[in-house]
């Protein structure tokens, strides 16, 4: 497979997972968390397809186009290791959906970030809430969900909080 084919496949899988997650939380109230703004592509997709739901974005250093950058009320700039614990205190299990797209391509860093995030998720998501992540996660109190059709195993992690 060419690198172009592989890139297209990755983006198609990402879109399929985001769309599936949005259908799963259609009747689950609460905001969406976008972890990793990057150039704002997936933020813009979530915004376009989530019918005005609040989306809070967490990003170490914002560099997206202003049109794909949330307003200051919805933006937590800095490392998630600092911003997420404060969000746990503020949101207290009211979040409907978390999309984590934090991969750096450096496994030793990504494993640490994922281990940190996995511990915080139960304090954020409401029962029935969904997290999808580009990195492998292990989350207590959550069930693993099957990936949408056509998405290769391991490409995304998908969980629903049980209680
Ligand atoms: N979802 C984005 C899009 O569609 O454009 C791409 C996200 S990019 C792959 C990963 C982003 O996560 C980077 O912008 C990086 O700065 C951010 N990031 C990675 N680790 C982070 C951390 N520990 N705290 C905050 N942001 C982090």
Q: What's the rounded mean pLDDT across residues 45-57? A: 97
In tens, the pLDDT along 69-96 reads 999 999 999 999 999 999 999 999 999 9
**Helix axis angle, 3-24 to 41-49, nearest 10°:** 30
Averaged pLDDT, 3-20: 95
| Residue 102 Cβ < 6 Å to ligand 1 | yes
Distance between CA atoms of residues 65 and 53, nearest Å: 21
**Could you tell me if the CB of 157 is within 6 A of ligand 1?**
no
User: Is residue 11 predicted with pLDDT exceeding 80?
Assistant: yes
DSSP state letter for 116: H
7: CA distance to ligand 1 center in Å? 17
Ligand 1 atom 7: residue of nearest CA: 38
Q: Average pLDDT of the chain?
A: 96
pLDDT for 37 = 98
Residue 135 CB–ligand 1 contact under 6 Å: no
* Secondary structure of 7-70 in HEC code, one letter for each residue: HHHHHHHHHHHHHHHHHHCCCCCCCEEEECCCCCHHHHHHHHHCCCCCEEEEECCCCCCHHHCC
- Percent of the chain clearing pLDDT 90 (strictly above): 98
Model confidence at 163: pLDDT above 90: no
């Amino acid at each position: 497979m060419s690198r172009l084919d592989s890139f297209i496949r990755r983006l198609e899988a990402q879109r399929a997972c985001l769309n599936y997650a949005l259908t799963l939380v259609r009747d689950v109230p609460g905001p969406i968390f976008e972890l990793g703004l990057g150039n704002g592509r997936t933020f813009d997709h979530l915004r376009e397809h989530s019918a005005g739901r609040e989306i809070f974005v967490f990003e170490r250093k914002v560099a997206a186009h202003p049109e794909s950058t949330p307003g200051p009320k919805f933006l937590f700039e800095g490392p998630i290791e600092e911003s997420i614990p404060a969000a746990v205190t503020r949101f207290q299990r009211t979040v409907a959906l978390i999309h984590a797209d934090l991969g750096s391509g450096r496994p030793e860093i990504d494993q640490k970030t994922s281990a940190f995030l996995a511990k915080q998720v139960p304090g954020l998501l409401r029962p029935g809430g969904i997290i999808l992540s580009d990195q492998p996660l292990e989350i207590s109190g959550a069930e693993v969900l099957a990936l949408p059709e056509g998405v290769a195993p391991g490409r995304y992690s998908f969980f629903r909080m049980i209680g």
